[in-house]
Structure 1
Amino acid sequence: MIIVVTGASGFVGSAVCRAARAAGHQVLALGRRRTVPADLIAGAPYLSWDLADPEARPALPAPFTHPDAVIHCAGLATDWARPEAFHRGNVLATRGALAAFPETARFVHLSTASVYDPRRPTVMAREDEADAVRHTDAYGRSKALAEASVRQARPDAVILRPHAVYGPGDTTLLPRVLQAVRRTPCGPRLFAIGDGRQRLSLTSVANLVDACLLAAGGRACGTFNITDREPVVLDDVLRQVMAAHGLPPTPVYLPLAVALPAARTAELLARTTLPPPPAGGTSITRRPRLTVYAVRHLAHERTLDLTAARTHLAYQPQPTDLEPALRRN
């Protein structure tokens, strides 16, 4: 196949490029960075392209003017940025990709399980449970709007919803867990939310990449949850993280009734005492240590049903070993 991958300079997009090249496909990598290391995208040709800017389109090399598939991985994935940054990075960039490749045979859009309601538990949720959710956070709202843009422009598209993607090159999940470690008189402690027995569906980047390529090469359309084979228990994962980094495996859990007001206060202080994040993104030093988004997503069960993906995409998630992914890359 001839495949265009957006967001190729990022964690998931670069992994898709490498896997597609290894499978023998012709790949064009697109990203916002000016350049990327050749090995990051397995030597695929690379174009710097801000999809949110309709005037920025570069000339596409043959044969990528009419690819067989576009796998749209570009987006702003964080819990702390200005609403306009989320809108630009997720909504406008998605509309830009749709406009740039209107006649592509397959359009695969990488969304997120954050489109489900963060205020209540997500228990083996099916895809239709995200319908009519009123999002209180800018990230979830922007991803839901991006999904709506895809459905309107390409009813035949595939939308994938992973949750908590991890693996080699992860710049979000594991770093945020380690940031929650605090020095106390009793030694390092990892502070978490809830009681630790919450079940979570995680998604290894390897399984997500498999789903992307299955969607690109298949005939199914619609929206599909994508996770690992089985959910995990939060406390088990956190203890593995601590052990992998030589820290005492003793998470300290804060009840939601305590953590949520603390997160609201932290966000308020961040907005009033720190410069605002830049319009195009966000710096980790400007982010509060605790956010409402993170609290809500950790306080409840977050598990997803895979029946649709297994049935229509022939998705068969491979068993995963968390241990290697729990160390810094």
Structure 2
Amino acid sequence: MRIVITGASGNVGTALLGRLSESGHELVGVVRRPPDPVGVYARVRWHEQDLAAPNAGAALRQVFDGADAVIHLAWGFQPTRNTEYLTRVGVGGTSAVLTAAHAASVGHLVHMSSVGTYAPGRYGERVDESWPTTGVRTSPYSRDKSAAEELLDEYEQRHGSDGVTIARMRPGFIVQRAAASGLMRYALPGYVPMLVVPLLPVLPLDRQLCIPLIHASDVADAMVRVVERRAQGPFNLAGEPPLGRDDVADVLGAKAVHLPSGVLGPLVDLSWRARLQPIDRGWLDMAFSVPLLDCGRAAAELDWRPRWSSVDALRDVIAGVAEQAHTESPPLRRRSLLEQLQRDLTKGLLTTRHLP
């Protein structure tokens, strides 16, 4: 098969390439910054393309020509102070991918959605794929994931069985050891070394925290099964059991202290507005709003079950933080504290520049 993967050098993309590298498939990657051809990135033909660019649709049409399947992973998490650009990457990029896939007569499109596409209302309870996908209104990430799924809905209503077959992956929060440096760069201010995270003595967090978490390799495994079966429709994906605050504290070896989300929310918002840290309040609102995931459909139709528990997945990424684990991919590679501060001074803060 010829498989085109947008965002192939990111967190999930790297895990997916590891899963596909020995498969014999022809792999094509579409990214903003192609990685050096080493490791899992070596057997991929790379195309440089920003999906937010006006010419993205036309450029993708050429790349998609002859593809049996397109796996659309590309998304933006920063800059949180430029949500218009993030929407162009996420929603506009999905529109460009969908238009190009249809024009190139691609047989199968696998779209990376998220638990963030789901509406609030069942926090701490499980929902299946029929739960409303209207998102969490206070989270720009969630709004864009919901809007991207609306595009897929409109396409399927317009073209029916004559259009591209579409599958939608709706995983919980995705982690892995190899992505530790990249994930911490998104989450920590440039002046804070990531090595402090495993050393935290106290974890001030609401005791009600209960979220779906999943290891990237389990997401990759589900995607391969979807492509092999040419499955369609939405699939929830999550590790078991759901991750709670005390689980996080145990993994960190920290003392859990109850800090209500109603107090933590304004603190996150104020520190973000003061440019002290890069995570906007929408991420916290989403963590305390999204439901848990019933993964019965993936088990029944894909014969899929997570190999990693949610706690072991968290343990894996925290071990990666302690080791400063990374890959040679631009989004995931390790940057020193000095390099991060230099980029903040010369290229703008992480929350404002297009390339993190």
The two structures have a TM-score, normalised by structure 2, of: 0.74
Among candidates 125, 128, 131, match of residue 126 of structure 1 = 128
Where in structure 2 are the equivalents of 1:129-144 lying within 5 Å?
129-133=131-135, 135-144=137-146
Among candidates 206, 209, 231, match of residue 217 of structure 2 = 206
Q: Which residue of 2 aligns with 1:13?
A: 13
- Structure 2 residue identity aligned to 1:41: Y
Where in structure 2 are the equivalents of 1:85-96 lying within 5 Å?
85-96=85-96
Residue 169 of structure 2 corresponds to residue 160 of structure 1 = yes
- Structure 2 residue identity aligned to 1:115: T
Where in structure 2 are the equivalents of 1:170-319 lying within 5 Å?
170=179, 171-172=182-183, 176=187, 188-195=200-207, 198-240=209-251, 242-243=252-253, 249-270=254-275, 287=278, 291-299=280-288, 302-319=291-308
- Structure 2 residue identity aligned to 1:18: G
For the structure 1 residues 133 and 143, does the alpha-carbon distance in structure 2 shift closer, same or farther, using more than 3 Å as the test? closer
- 1:72 Cα deviation after fit: 0.5
Higher RCO (CA-CA < 8 Å; seq separation 6+)? 2
CA distance in 2, matches of 1:35, 1:188: 33
- 1:90 Cα deviation after fit: 0.4
- Structure 1 residue identity aligned to 2:201: R
- Structure 1 residue identity aligned to 2:301: H
Q: Please list the CA deviations of residues 214-256 of structure 1 after superposition, one character each: whole Å capped at 9, or x if unmatched.
A: 111213311111112432333123321x24xxxxx21333112
CA distance in 2, matches of 1:188, 1:173: 14
8 Å contact kept, 1:108–1:157: yes
8 Å contact kept, 1:199–1:234: yes
- Structure 2 residue identity aligned to 1:256: S
8 Å contact kept, 1:30–1:46: yes
8 Å contact kept, 2:134–2:143: no
Poorly superposed stretches of 4+, deviation over 6 Å: 59-62, 177-183
- 1:118 Cα deviation after fit: 5.1
Q: Please list the CA deviations of residues 66-117 of structure 1 after superposition, one character each: whole Å capped at 9, or x if unmatched.
A: 2111010101135934220221110011111112221111100001111123
The two structures have a TM-score, normalised by structure 1, of: 0.80
For the structure 1 residues 295 and 26, does the alpha-carbon distance in structure 2 shift closer, same or farther, using more than 3 Å as the test? same
Q: Which residue of 2 aligns with 1:150?
A: 152
> For this pair of structures, how many residues does the alignment match?
302
CA distance in 2, matches of 1:53, 1:27: 23
- Structure 2 residue identity aligned to 1:94: T
- Structure 2 residue identity aligned to 1:117: A
CA distance in 1, matches of 2:258, 2:291: 17
- Structure 2 residue identity aligned to 1:128: S
For the structure 1 residues 215 and 167, does the alpha-carbon distance in structure 2 shift closer, same or farther, using more than 3 Å as the test? same
User: As a proportion of its length, which structure holds more helix?
Assistant: 2
Unpaired segments ≥5 residues, structure 1:
244-248, 271-284
Residue 316 of structure 2 corresponds to residue 324 of structure 1 = yes
